[in-house]
Structure 1
């Protein structure tokens, strides 16, 4: 093996021209690195990572593509294909789920993110499965979760009328609840947020106003300067709550932001906070949310085989690994990077740095970058591992808030950390690769002047620092799938045939 390799993923660090609307313009050390070190740019969205044309990349897809060294068909595309090609009736798990509904009380709650963001779910799936259950003469209760994070901050009004119309047109379709993803989709163990959404499903959440439609809730929130993401969970008039033996269909195809809610529903020993247990033995999820949760639910779209990931190949070659991230992105450098495998590989050490406990990350835009940097430098100096994988969450997490000054502060913090990391990598003879999983902070505002909060379809950097061999980047289109083969080439390890990606460079 040539040198130890440090793969540093800057979450949401995309590339485009430098201007006042690009937060990276304000990062002097990053701009210096671009002048001094060999780099290229990788496609991180659309078909290059298994997503539909025009679909921005995201952290789950990005880390999985990087870790697997191949482009796999993502869940958004898999579900779209089944819907568009009339394959839904062929899904045995769905047909069994429907039979169970009919054999109990014929009631099903549909829960999930209702937006066209395409990162965690898609509103087309929500609408399709609502209509599909109605066509099967099932009583349906709708519980849309609002976005405002992977979409513009007030995007909900553009499409929520579709659910209002469904409830008004079908006697079997009823209003349930509505609320922002800040509550129902927390993933940082802020159980008090998840509990608000959970209690709204049960109709035991205190509520000051009566609402007659989903639209009325959103308009009321806008009048109080509350955007989609932060709308308090609310019940719609006449909703009676979850009844005994009700069924549930969770629309989100991405797992990480549904896990807490599903844990509340399925874990009989749940003790993170006081909740009223729900009696139901019939829950379906679009995909595998976790091995534990999937043991209690029906999974409609099972995992795709993801053998021979970068982590597994390094393990088979007895190369010790160190994975580090803060809470918000810990699953990405472990579970997602390993292709949906929860258990660490032999020789894989993990370190979780807690994310700061603040209401929104614009209040602490540095997040835990300093602690992550300190731990990485200690590991580099220790000389007891050969591969380091890190994720810096704050560019993306703060980018989602749309608060320009805070986004720039988060970028400046990364810029400061990069200087320390590069210095220590060089001093200790490590190769350092700087890359990203998708874009975000390089676009601060929308064309209409509103804050930009979503990911982008821009390419991401791939920079090589301190590699002992001079390199040439090839001219072919490159993507995140090419990172793992590039790492293996640096380590003089043959890539497995499953990796369809190719190294982005050749040694001069």
Structure 2
């Protein structure tokens, strides 16, 4: 979001943390309405969220705070715990779940434990999503366990790390019923959208949801998409970000092209456009499908060749602005497989060779960078085991083509949009507080 906004946009994590700390979270109208509706219906509040402190998609403290408030109002709470293993160490869920238990208020239970591989898919792998749905909504899991910690440890014993823990039903949980409510605590949209479509979309057809309960209330921590807003209420509505990179380019009657394979498509569209799903005027998009494999170490090249073809085609077509994401280093880096990560980087290298040649022929310029690290650290320095999470290392930025005799200074992600506008010889909108990285 900061890349496309050209300014530092306050993260949802910080906003939610502050609201919980000050108590304003508990006074939010959407949350109060959710509680009141369930008190009237006599239903259970189902809370779903990632149970780690990774802070990328959600945070375990948000789940505990919401559960405490809802149960304190007299509404029973069933938590659907999504185990992480990507934004935190791959076998840390047992500790996170165990640490949750003493903090659970009376009337709060953990009903299911499900790896994010199933509950947080974003690549239309509906067979995965269905296993998560069946456990949470129907009470029918791929596994059962007497308690949530055992759900995790028995998965470890079977060789599954946190991300891949099968959808496990805990104790006597029998599913959701008419008059219940569902509250998604994750605050990032891309990995919440699919499971929430299954939960609430009226005309959902990706798999059979016959017998889905008549929910009394559906609530999300944030807005997950314009479509989701039709059936989900929101605690924290999105703040409008005006004059993003895409919007500003469109206002100057210039063309733009966005390309990424399905795993990263929201990053070059929804997120880059400040949370707007609809393309700008003159903005074209393409989305090669990511390969249908269990994990991307099995196909580290992913769809880089198709992304490259579209990228080169857009250069040759003369688009004024092209935004591309190569998914390989991040998605394969998350597997913790060093050899596969090397192949992933080689695939991107091959693609960039073709792109650079096309760019030179067209006389264009390119900024090459990343928004976080991952595959440069594949071995955990503390444990010696695989490192699957993002890193906090500074990322490189390179200028390919463009004006002669210039250099790039150090900066931040909010400086990238101003840098592109500088290369395109467009003025910078006043809302963008970043500054160009180009030093003349």
TM-score of the two chains, using structure 2 as the length reference = 0.97
What residue in structure 1 maps to residue 31 of structure 2? 94
Aligned position for 2:92:
155
Is the 8 Å Cα contact of residues 472 and 505 (structure 1) preserved in structure 2?
yes
Q: Report 1:262-281 matches (<5 A).
A: 262-276=196-210, 277-281=212-216
Match of 1:233 in 2: 167
Given that 1:112 and 1:144 are in contact with CA atoms closer than 8 Å, whether structure 2 keeps it comes out as yes
The match for 1:412 among 320, 339, 346 is 346
Per the alignment, residue 192 of structure 2 pairs with 258
Structure 1 equivalent of residue 79 of structure 2: 142
* Candidates 107, 110, 128, aligned match of 2:65: 128
Whose relative contact order is higher, 1 or 2, with alpha carbons under 8 Å and at least 6 apart?
1
Cα separation, 1, equivalents of 2:311 and 2:82: 37
SS of the residue corresponding to residue 159 of structure 1 reads: helix
Structure 1 contact 166–173 (Cα < 8 Å) conserved: no
- Structure-2 separation of matches of 1:102 and 1:96: 10
Deviations 1:230-287 (A, max 9, x none): 0100111111210111011111000111111111121222111122322113011000
Which blocks of at least 5 consecutive residues in structure 2 are unaligned? none
Gaps of 5+ in 1: 1-63
RMSD of aligned C-alpha atoms? 1.4
Contact 2:122/2:263 (<8 A) preserved: yes
Return the TM-score normalized by structure 1: 0.84
Does residue 395 of structure 2 align to residue 460 of structure 1? Answer: yes
Is structure 2 residue 383 aligned with structure 1 residue 442?
no
Is the CA contact (8 Å cut-off) linking 1:221 and 1:231 kept in structure 2?
A: yes
Q: 1:175 to 1:206 in 2, by over 3 A?
A: closer
Equivalent residues, number: 438
SS at match of 1:193: helix
- SS of aligned partner of 1:346: coil
SS in structure 2 of the partner of residue 495 of structure 1: coil
Q: Is 1:286 aligned to 2:221, yes or no?
A: yes
Q: Which residue of 1 aligns with 2:265?
A: 330
- 8 Å Cα contact 2:139/2:176 also seen in 1: no
**Residue deviations 1:93-136, cap 9 Å, x none?**
21112111111114101111111111000111111111121222
Corresponding residue for residue 32 of structure 1? none
Q: 1:362 aligns with which of 297, 315, 324?
A: 297
Matches within 5 A, 1:468-507: 468-474=403-409, 478-507=411-440
| 8 Å Cα contact 1:431-1:464 kept in structure 2 | yes
Q: Deviation digits for residues 297-332 of structure 1, max 9, x if unmatched?
A: 210001112110000110011110011000001111
Deviations, residues 329-369 of structure 1 (Å, cap 9, x unaligned): 11110111000111110000101111111111110000000
Other structure's SS at 1:367 match: coil
1:83 and 2:20 correspond: yes
